């Protein structure tokens, strides 16, 4: 009898523990997300693909500052900073006691190394021009960095929070593309090429207790239908910037999901190779723009989620002006411009399209619109790595006539001043105007000049400016921290957690 009583008491005690044990076991500490594109490498300082930042920024690598969801800038590796009144000199006080994931110390020397590496002749940093605009980097001590700019730069704290300004460890820098080493809360655990990347929490992170996820699995799913299916089946917990516009009603009606529609500073364009004939003639470029019905492009490429733009600038930015009326949709005008330029139609051109659905869907719409003016666009669907090497690569060969791509960086008008930029636009007048912008410390003066720059790019038809995307992200309703607004393409897993 006594033995039975002991067993019964033990069993009841075990049962009393079950809720706590179940709660502990049921609390999720991992997440699986979907991404449209696989990054070509994992060094955000040496590649242009936004997918690199989507995996690594604020996760593996960190920057002096951190761009938050609302676009504001917060301290990260720098505890604080001060700007001189002329906005040409910034003093950053660095966080102490920080180490890289290989055990090496983070200090002012690492910052100086990272920024000077960005301007080396062999550098492929997509924001190389930013670092070239630095006049000097002084290190008063191990925890202080003083950056002197050649011209006033009011946006420097924001710019230094972008992936291209990630601080790398000098010894590991040559192999960061495949073996990334940063100061962030996550390390690369596995990379199954063509399938997924797995990040795991770094136990030695300076604030490891604040990181709620132990593991993040990033799956690469380019097909829009497969993206939708992965969410509905629960194979992925979240899909930032998903191509699910056509299934939006289904997700909004499903209580399992949180549907987020946010703005961005991205610009989706038809890039025109200004280097090649007949596109070196502004009349031909204007004809291409006149052939484009932006509203139809937004419906076809982005399922209606976009705002028309007429230049390489987006609504909400300092000095934005509406330039859509400079090159309005007008098929007859397009035909007339082609005739004036001496172009014999039909004119066959190549249209190289990278994998994102907006490019592939938009390419079909664009080809149909151009055909009405006598321009026959031969669509070539290419993989992302092939697009980067053949079309975008700064060293050429810029082997394309037309392409469709979305540029996600918020402050990149400077690209149109670069000789090796893939678009091939060359204008001494624009270069001089942009120089005036960089030298204008007064915000009102800068805004006016920015408006002038937008009008000049539109008048010169430097590219076919289409729309500012509105981006859709869908996540499990219990997953917190996924951004709605997209000031830059990043997935800050340090702030993600399960409810």
**CA 386 to chain CA mean position, Å:** 19
Nearest Cα residue to 321 out of 330, 333, 312, 332: 312
Arithmetic mean of pLDDT, 283-297: 98
Domain with CATH 3.90.76.10 in the chain: 62-170
Q: Which residues contact 31 (CB under 8 A, 6 or more apart)?
A: 213, 215, 216, 217, 237, 238, 479, 493, 496, 498
C-beta neighbour count of 94 within 10 angstroms: 23
User: What does the alpha-carbon distance between residue 365 and residue 334 come to, in Å, rounded to a whole number?
Assistant: 17
Architecture of domain 30-36+184-264+471-498: 3-Layer(aba) Sandwich (3.40)
Tell me if residue 472 falls in helix, strand or coil: strand
Arithmetic mean of pLDDT, 78-104: 97
**pLDDT at position 17 over 50:** no
- Please report which confidence band the pLDDT of residue 26 belongs to, taking 50, 70 and 90 as the band edges: low
- Please report which confidence band the pLDDT of residue 48 belongs to, taking 50, 70 and 90 as the band edges: confident
Write down the pTM of the prediction: 0.85
Q: Which residues contact 277 (CB under 8 A, 6 or more apart)?
A: none
- Please tell me the predicted confidence (pLDDT) of residue 189: 98
Q: Catalogue the E-assigned strands of 142-248.
A: 144-149, 186-192, 196-201, 215-220, 238-239
Candidate from 53-67, 199-213, 383-397 with smallest mean pLDDT: 383-397
- Please report which confidence band the pLDDT of residue 3 belongs to, taking 50, 70 and 90 as the band edges: very low
Strands 402-407 and 375-381: unpaired
- Please report which confidence band the pLDDT of residue 10 belongs to, taking 50, 70 and 90 as the band edges: very low
Question: What are the pLDDT digits (tens) for 469-497?
Answer: 999 999 999 999 999 998 889 999 999 99
Domain with CATH 3.10.105.10 in the chain: 267-469
**pLDDT at position 2 over 60:** no
Yes or no: is domain 267-469 CATH 3.40.50.970? no
Arithmetic mean of pLDDT, 22-50: 84
Candidate from 88-102, 184-198, 209-223, 382-396 with smallest mean pLDDT: 382-396
User: What does the alpha-carbon distance between residue 449 and residue 154 come to, in Å, rounded to a whole number?
Assistant: 15
Q: What is the maximum alpha-carbon separation in the chain?
A: 107
- H or E element that contains 452: helix 443-459
- Look-up of token digits 């000098």: 170
- Please tell me the predicted confidence (pLDDT) of residue 446: 93
Q: Are the C-beta atoms of residues 489 and 53 closer than 8 Å to each other?
A: yes
**Beta-ladder partners of 407:** 267
State the alpha helices, DSSP H only, in 50-178: 50-56, 108-117, 128-132, 156-159
**pLDDT at position 19 over 80:** no
Burial of 203 (0-12, 13-18, 19+ CB in 10 A): exposed
User: What does the alpha-carbon distance between residue 369 and residue 117 come to, in Å, rounded to a whole number?
Assistant: 45
- Please report which confidence band the pLDDT of residue 410 belongs to, taking 50, 70 and 90 as the band edges: confident
Q: Which residues contact 448 (CB under 8 A, 6 or more apart)?
A: 319
Burial of 155 (0-12, 13-18, 19+ CB in 10 A): middle
Arithmetic mean of pLDDT, 338-355: 96
* Fold (CATH) for 62-170: Dipeptide-binding Protein; domain 1 (3.90.76)
DSSP code at position 390: I
Q: Are the C-beta atoms of residues 477 and 238 closer than 8 Å to each other?
A: no
- Please tell me the predicted confidence (pLDDT) of residue 47: 84
- Please tell me the predicted confidence (pLDDT) of residue 398: 94
User: What does the alpha-carbon distance between residue 59 and residue 497 come to, in Å, rounded to a whole number?
Assistant: 14
C-beta neighbour count of 429 within 10 angstroms: 9
**CA 297 to chain CA mean position, Å:** 21
Arithmetic mean of pLDDT, 190-204: 97
Question: What are the pLDDT digits (tens) for 457-469?
Answer: 999 999 999 999 9
- Please report which confidence band the pLDDT of residue 12 belongs to, taking 50, 70 and 90 as the band edges: very low
Tell me if residue 277 falls in helix, strand or coil: coil
**pLDDT at position 195 over 50:** yes
Arithmetic mean of pLDDT, 10-19: 42
- Please report which confidence band the pLDDT of residue 21 belongs to, taking 50, 70 and 90 as the band edges: very low
Q: Are the C-beta atoms of residues 323 and 455 closer than 8 Å to each other?
A: yes
The mean pLDDT of the chain is 93
């Amino acid at each position: 009898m006594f033995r039975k009583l002991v067993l019964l008491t033990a069993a009841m005690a075990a049962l009393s523990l079950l809720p706590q044990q179940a709660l502990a076991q049921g609390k999720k500490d991992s997440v699986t997300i979907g991404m449209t594109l696989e990054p070509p490498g994992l060094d955000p300082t040496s590649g242009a693909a936004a997918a690199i930042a989507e995996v690594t920024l604020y996760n593996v690598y960190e920057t002096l500052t951190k761009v938050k969801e609302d676009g504001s800038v917060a301290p990260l590796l720098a505890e604080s900073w001060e700007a001189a009144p002329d906005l040409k000199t910034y003093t950053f006080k660095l966080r102490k006691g920080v180490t890289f994931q290989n055990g090496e110390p983070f200090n002012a020397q690492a910052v100086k190394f990272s920024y000077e590496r960005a301007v080396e002749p062999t550098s492929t940093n997509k924001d190389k021009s930013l670092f070239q605009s630095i006049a000097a980097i002084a290190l008063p001590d191990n925890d202080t960095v003083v950056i002197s700019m050649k011209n006033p730069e009011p946006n420097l704290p924001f710019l230094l929070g972008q992936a291209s300004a990630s601080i790398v460890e000098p010894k590991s820098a040559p192999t960061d593309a495949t073996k990334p080493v940063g100061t962030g809360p996550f390390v690369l655990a596995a990379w199954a090429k063509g399938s997924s990347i797995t990040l795991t929490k770094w136990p030695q992170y300076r604030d490891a207790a604040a990181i709620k996820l132990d593991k993040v699995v990033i799956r690469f799913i380019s097909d829009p239908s497969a993206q939708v299916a992965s969410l509905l089946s629960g194979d992925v917990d979240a899909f930032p910037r998903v191509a699910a516009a056509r299934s939006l009603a289904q997700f909004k009606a499903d209580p399992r999901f949180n549907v987020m529609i946010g703005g961005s500073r991205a610009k989706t364009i038809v890039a025109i190779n200004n280097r090649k004939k007949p596109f070196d003639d502004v009349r031909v470029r204007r004809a291409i723009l006149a052939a484009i019905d932006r509203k139809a492009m937004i419906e076809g490429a982005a399922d209606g989620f976009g705002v028309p733009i007429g230049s390489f600038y987006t609504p909400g930015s300092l000095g934005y002006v509406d330039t859509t009326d400079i090159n309005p949709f007008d098929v007859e005008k397009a035909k007339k411009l082609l005739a004036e330029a001496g172009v014999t139609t039909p004119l066959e051109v190549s249209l190289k399209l990278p994998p994102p659905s907006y490019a592939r869907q938009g390419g079909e719409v664009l080809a149909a619109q151009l055909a009405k003016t006598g321009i026959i666009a031969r669509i070539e669907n290419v993989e992302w790595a092939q697009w980067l090497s053949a079309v975008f690569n700064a060293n050429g060969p810029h082997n394309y006539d037309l392409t469709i791509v979305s540029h996600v960086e918020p402050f990149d008008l400077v690209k149109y001043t670069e000789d090796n930029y893939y678009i091939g636009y060359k204008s001494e007048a624009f270069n001089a105007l942009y120089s005036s912008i960089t030298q204008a410390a007064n915000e009102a003066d800068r805004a006016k000049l920015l408006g002038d720059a937008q009008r000049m790019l539109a008048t010169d038809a430097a590219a076919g400016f289409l729309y500012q995307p509105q981006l859709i992200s869908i996540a499990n309703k219990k997953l917190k921290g996924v951004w709605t607004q997209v000031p830059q393409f990043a997935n800050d897993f340090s702030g993600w957690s399960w409810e």
